[in-house]
Structure 1
Amino acid sequence: MLESLGITSRAEQVYRAMLALPDLGVVDLATHLGIDEATVRAALDELADLALLRPSSVQPGSLRPVSPEIGLAALLGRAEAEVLHRQRQVEATRAAIKSIAAEQLASRDHEGVRRYEDVDAVRFRLEELAANAEVECVSLNPGSAQAPDGKESSKPLNQLALERGVTIRCVYQDSYRNDPGVVGYARWLTGLGGQVRTAPTLPMLMVVVDQRVALLPLDPTDSGKGAVEVVHPGVVAAIYALFEQIWRTARPIDVVPQVDGRGMEPSERELLRILADGHTDEVAARKLGLSLRTVRRMTANVMERLGARSRFQAGVHAAQRGWCDQPG
């Protein structure tokens, strides 16, 4: 009970016994408490160091306990002073953090744009944004944006944000439904209240926090080259609207993609749209986040079903027949 004052439980036991039975010596205290004499003497030394024992005027050479109203009150006053000192240190640290944050904010481009030239700088900024999020964090995560260490490092911050009531919504590519790492992370996140969906293709990596700050890659094809932060309300609103449009058509990760009446999976419909635009298998593989071998197998399959002699012809035939449309 008195450990917060620096008194061990054994010393407290001896102190209480001495207050109740002040005439007991070391041997008697040991017998009364059922402990050995060495333990009693160690407790007496501790109590003396804390000024809870004083030399007895009645029995020279022995010690008497100091009244709790005096001895314990003094220890409590010392503990309260230490707590006050610690609180002042915490307040000073909090003020220093605000000062550093203000200096950093002041150093930013006044046009509402700031560049982060490498992955470490981007992750550092994402950590800041996650720690200060108040309402919502949304993100698009194409295949080129994923790194196992990035997902793991974001877990503690995401958990704290969700515990504060922040909404987290993420969209991944359908191709990641076969990635154990991403699926495991998605299950962990949804288990805490986050929301994860997938879509066949995503335009680029993007993160929007509280509809006031957006992070976009400097190079949409290579997120490792850094990012640009945008805070201009109009631009952020447009980016957020794009996310919402993709979110509405994306599927929850625990829902299996539906095959339409023609036997077409969402990824196959998206592949046909890409082919109809005249893109190569290599471009389709990058957009879908799939291997070139997988895309070529899918392309050959849909060409056979459509009776097309070329990839472009397959895309055109599919568009004419409505195969590229979203199922009703």
Structure 2
Amino acid sequence: MLDLLGLSSLSERLYQAVLADPARSVAELARDTGMTDQEIRSALDELADLALVKPSSRADGALWPVSPAVGLSALLAAAEDEAAARQRKIEATRATIAALAAQHEEHRLHRADAVVRLDGLDSVRSRLEELAANAVTECLSLNPGGADRPDARAASARLNEQALRRGVSIKAICRESFRNDADTLAHARWLTDLGGEMRTVPIVPIPLVIVDRTVAIVPVDPAEPRRGALELDGPGPLAVAAALFDQLWSVATPFGSSVPTDGQGLTLAERTLLELAAAGHTDEAAGRKLGVSARTVKRQMADLMARLGAESRFQAGARAAHRGWL
């Protein structure tokens, strides 16, 4: 009944029992509720986190229940505020989608050639070389697979140097996990030494190249890049591609900087892992998205559960949500 407020069934049962007789000890509560001592102590921790019990003035340091009219009403008000804020975001997103859809449809009606298919890797690489050679303002890229290997970097070095000398801004984003990859680190140093920039985020959703915000290259199939790519020059698709890059760039961490933490002491990668776990991703699936092994995911989740004082992932999710980690 009260799971919307963050209470598990055990915590709700214990809260009702403590309300009925606040003076009972843990042993008495265990006898009367059928809960184990460990379940009672865990539920008390949860109730304390939700401000539904508070220290008693008794000498034994017991906890005293907060009136439902006060404690539960406060939790409900917070849930209502969160729901209202989410609804506002949904409405704003709906308006953005409608505007982009209308813009895209209008452009589609006037431009039948807004999408060009580039078949195979050779065609894609040749077109990227042409675009880099003619870039005027900026080259932006998302790189889910990390940096190119040394032979590929050597082949593109001349074009990158020429572009940077012309004043073209080069910005690249790759996955956080590739900070531990020697080739990616070498590429980052190489790029930044030339005057380019590289940043990292926990998850890079798709490969993407944007040149001068007038052309975007996306894979036909992100899971199979050898199939080729699509070249987009319509305002609608370009607006979406540029918005995706700008959003990721705004939260990404520059190479050479320590990974920052937020107000809860979480890195962006840790918060992303919690979100993936809350969405039901397995360790293997989360690892694929983050570019790490399932063993690493298990270790990181164990650390997060310990920091939350949780004994299960369900309890970790509830406590993370209550503390604003999700």
Question: What band does the TM-score fall into relative to the shorter chain?
Answer: 0.5 to 0.7
Contact 2:173 2:201 in 1 (8 A): yes
1:151 matches 2:144 = no
Q: How big is each residue's C-alpha offset from its partner over 1:166-193, in whole Å with a ceiling of 9 and x where there is no partner?
A: 1111111111111121111111111111
Q: Corresponding residue for 2:181?
A: 179
* TM, length-normalised to structure 2: 0.61
The residue correspondences of 1:1-328 to structure 2 (distance < 5 A) are 110-143=112-145, 146-260=148-262, 262-311=264-313, 313-324=315-326
Unaligned 5+ runs, structure 1? 1-108
Aligned-partner Cα distance in 1 for 2:184–2:124: 20
The answer (yes or no) to whether the contact 2:146–2:175 under 8 Å persists in 1 is: no
Q: Give CA deviations for 1:11-68 in whole Å, capped at 9, x if unaligned.
A: xxxxxxxxxxxxxxxxxxxxxxxxxxxxxxxxxxxxxxxxxxxxxxxxxxxxxxxxxx
1:171–1:196 Cα contact (<8 Å) kept: yes
Aligned-pair identity in percent equals 51
Moved more, 248-257 or 135-144: 135-144
Structure 2: gaps (5+ residues): 1-110
Contact map agreement 1:197 1:250 (CA 8 A) in 2:
yes
- Deviation of 1:268 after TM superposition, in Å, equals 1.3
* 8 A Cα contact 1:273 1:319, kept in partner: no
Q: Which amino acid aligns with 1:172?
A: C
Whole-Å separation in 2 of the counterparts to 1:274 and 1:138:
27
The 1:252/1:170 distance shift into structure 2, 3 A limit, reads same
Whichever of the two has the greater Rg, that structure is 1
CA distance in 2 between counterparts of 1:181 and 1:144 reads 9
Equivalent residue for 1:30?
none
Instruction: Give secondary structure in 1 for the equivalent of 2:280.
Output: coil
Q: What is the DSSP-based 3-state SS (H/G/I as helix, E as strand, rest coil) of the residue aligned with 2:216?
A: strand
Amino acid at match of 1:174: E
Q: How far off its partner does 1:208 sit?
A: 0.3
What letter matches 1:232 in structure 2? G
Name the Cα RMSD after superposition: 2.2
Deviation at 1:194, TM superposition (A): 0.7
Contact 2:175 2:290 in 1 (8 A): yes
Q: Structure 1 CA distance, aligned partners of 2:318 and 2:119?
A: 41
Cα distance in 1, alignment partners of residues 150 and 221 from structure 2? 21
Counterparts of 1:161 and 1:264, CA distance in 2: 37
8 Å Cα contact 1:198-1:253 kept in structure 2: yes
How many positions carry a matched residue from both structures?
A: 216
Q: CA deviation at 1:156?
A: 1.8
Alpha-carbon deviations, 1:210-252, whole Å to 9, x = none? 1110011112233333211111122112211111111111111
- Deviation, structure 1 residue 309: 4.9
Contact 1:276/1:313 (CA < 8 Å) preserved in 2? no
Shift in Å at residue 144 of structure 1?
A: 6.6
In structure 1, C-alpha distance between the alignment counterparts of 2:175 and 2:245, rounded to whole Å: 13
